[in-house]
Amino acid sequence: MKKIFRNIGILIMLISMESVIAQTDSVIVIQGEETQVAEKIYNEGIALYKSQKLDEAIQKFGEALKEDSEFALAYLNRAVVFIDKEDYNSALLDFKSYIQRKPNDAQAYYLRGNVYYAMEKQDDALLDYTKSIQLNPQFDNPYYFRGVIKFEKEQYQDAILDFSEAIKINPDYSYAYNDRASAKKMLDDMDGAIADYTQAIRANPKQAFFYNNRGSAKRKKGDYKEAIADYSMAINLNSEYVIAYNNRGYTYFELGDYTNAIDDFSKAINLNSQYAYAYNNRGNAKYKIKDYQGAIADFDKAIALDPNMAYTFMHRGNAKEMIRDVKGALADWEKAAEMGVEAAATYAKKSKEDTF
């Protein structure tokens, strides 16, 4: 699965002879004509990168390194271009060469950590983020990404600590508030989650999924009307936000408003015809209004898209029972029971007792 970088903070530097002399902490420079040639080629590579001519930029950085093999920034920025091309193995090679020349650059470890994260090498990414923090304890992004990995490892308390450090350094770090909220939600701290989602929205009020996430926390707390308001705000910001339609529909369903629920599930399906959960949910809403054939059709579609949705088999069995398809209902309940749904096993047992 491809990872998405947030706040990656990639370093791109345009070098002139004057700026090289002024930035000796950033790049090793050998004074003389050869170095000036390397810088000129390097600058051409930067210009190509800015024009999104990635292959040509890579070639220019390579030419610069042929002129000066110790030109550290050429390794760093070529690695950045390789990231854009999703050529992560080549990026790692260039980061290795750069770090050999600049072993105390916290940014380089952070960027390499992002590459490992994109490659789903979580443990390697953790090591690099931790090294970046050790070199620069005031660098917020490595704390954030280390927290993301700890969240993915279900280490929610440790994730909260890292997100909190990122927020301490950058009080407007909206993603850190959002993800700390999600960790709190996993620990059933709904009030804390809602407070953090609210802070994320304050810092970045145009980010639709912050409202969706806060809506889900409110829904879990039982504040259905406020949850609907948040889902609606998310949809106002992004009219194609499939999950927000599904979640708002689910909330309408819990309120017993099956008409609006069906409408929202249908909108989600219109936007994503492969969204199995929306078909399942719409099927349940149709069942509630006694449209059993319509419910079965939706359950059929959900199962066709995702045959591992055990509860959908049980739901379909319930709908089949209502149209007196006893054998079909029993088959669905038995299938759901095989997949671990205890209630379905109970239904199947009762059906057999009543039949035989």
Q: What's at 296, amino acid-wise?
A: I
Give pLDDT < 50 ranges for the chain: 1-34
The answer to whether residues 94 and 31 belong to one domain is yes
pLDDT the model gives residue 30: 32
Residue 137 lies in a domain: no
- Domain limits for position 15: 1-118
pLDDT the model gives residue 33: 45
Residue 161 lies in a domain: no
137 contact partners, CB below 8 Å, separation of at least 6: none
- Say which residue the tokens 């407070």 belong to: 195
The answer to whether residues 312 and 262 belong to one domain is no
Domain boundary residue, one of 59, 86, 118: 118
Residue 109 lies in a domain: yes
The answer to whether residues 100 and 46 belong to one domain is yes
pLDDT the model gives residue 53: 95
Q: Note the pTM of the prediction, 2 decimals.
A: 0.85
pLDDT the model gives residue 218: 97
pLDDT the model gives residue 89: 97
